[in-house]
Amino acid sequence: MTRKHENTSRSLVIVAFACVYFFWGSTFVAIRVGVQSLSPAFVSGFRYCAAGVIMLTVLALRGTRIVLPRAEFQRALLLGVVMLTGNNVMISWAEQSLSAGLAALLAAGIPLMIALAETFIPGGTPLNRMGWLGTVLGFAGLVVLLAPLLRGGVGSASTGVVIMLVADLLWVVGSLYSGRRPSTVDPLLGAGWQMLLGGTLSIVLGSALGGWQSAHWNKSALLAVLWLVFFGSLVGYTAYMWLLHHVPVAKVATYAYVNPIVSVALSSVLLHESLHGSQWIAMAIILASVALVTASKSKPKAA
């Protein structure tokens, strides 16, 4: 590879990381804005349905056959229901009562949950000492983060935390299933169908729950949905998939502890929602724990 090509490749990697770090971190803020005017199912549904239509259209124009075999369609439907309808609708629901920064911090626990699940399920990769240290540290950080809410008793914020944790669990289940049932088609094609199917189901769900009657399609709601469609779904996801094919997975996984920082910063500047007191300590603990678990996964297994 020539020096020119090396510089070009390095520049593309930097741009792709910037897209994943910033745009995925910003989605929590956009969701927080969107749910002030639209039902949670609509915020998720219109985002993914539109992104899925655009992605599949682009692939078709490029000459890709977009019809899926039955097994791949069933896989896309299952992942769309669990990871997009289930996880993202519940995140939107949780953000009706939680700040964007707090929701992002709770989502940062997903790598810890996946690492822990991999230790106990058959065929999984067990945690090493560094991984266990990071996992224990991460759950300690969650206790510090949630302690003030738990002391306050049952309320909208504590309900939002429970919803957010269930959303995390759904993403973990979908991730584990996806890893054990790898797709045989173009990843972008599979993702396009997942978004289309999951988004359509979310819109149907929102319609059944009276979403059209309660919707207020104001400027803020439209901008939030458009941001989620183009930057959260299309740009962010495409950059993520490109990185997976060009950069070690352990490095790509660093998004898990950069996204919350971006979300907290944007939430503070744009929405005037900031962490306070022990939540800052919890943030440092959780992000350090995710970094430890990610680093432990990057080490090769002993012979």
How would you write the chain as a 3-class SS string? CCHHHHHHHHHHHHHHHHHHHHHHHHHHHHHHHHCCCCCHHHHHHHHHHHHHHHHHHHHHHCCCCCCCCHHHHHHHHHHHHHHHHHHHHHHHHHCCCCCHHHHHHHHCCHHHHHHHHHHHCCCCCCCCHHHHHHHHHHHHHHHHHHHHHHHCCCCHHHHHHHHHHHHHHHHHHHHHHHHHCCCCCCHHHHHHHHHHHHHHHHHHHHHHCCHHHHCCCCHHHHHHHHHHHHHHHHHHHHHHHHHHHHCCHHHHCCHHHHHHHHHHHHHHHHCCCCCCCHHHHHHHHHHHHHHHHHHHHCCCCCC
Q: Which residues contact 302 (CB under 8 A, 6 or more apart)?
A: none
Domain that holds residue 86: 3-297
Establish if 18 belongs to a structural domain: yes
Establish if 125 belongs to a structural domain: yes
Establish if 68 belongs to a structural domain: yes
User: Are the C-beta atoms of residues 95 and 103 closer than 8 Å to each other?
Assistant: yes
Establish if 142 belongs to a structural domain: yes
* Predicted local distance difference test score (pLDDT) of residue 122: 80
pLDDT in tens, the chain (303 residues): 555 455 557 888 889 999 999 999 999 999 999 999 999 999 999 999 999 999 999 999 999 999 999 999 999 999 999 999 999 999 999 999 998 988 998 888 888 888 888 888 887 778 888 888 888 888 888 888 877 766 655 566 778 888 999 999 999 998 888 888 888 888 889 989 999 999 999 999 999 999 999 999 999 999 999 999 999 989 988 888 888 778 876 678 778 778 888 998 899 889 988 877 788 888 888 888 888 887 776 544 433
Establish if 302 belongs to a structural domain: no
* Predicted local distance difference test score (pLDDT) of residue 54: 95
Establish if 303 belongs to a structural domain: no
* Predicted local distance difference test score (pLDDT) of residue 88: 93
Number of domains in the chain: 1
Establish if 77 belongs to a structural domain: yes
Establish if 137 belongs to a structural domain: yes
CA-CA distance, 134 to 216, in Å (whole number)? 43
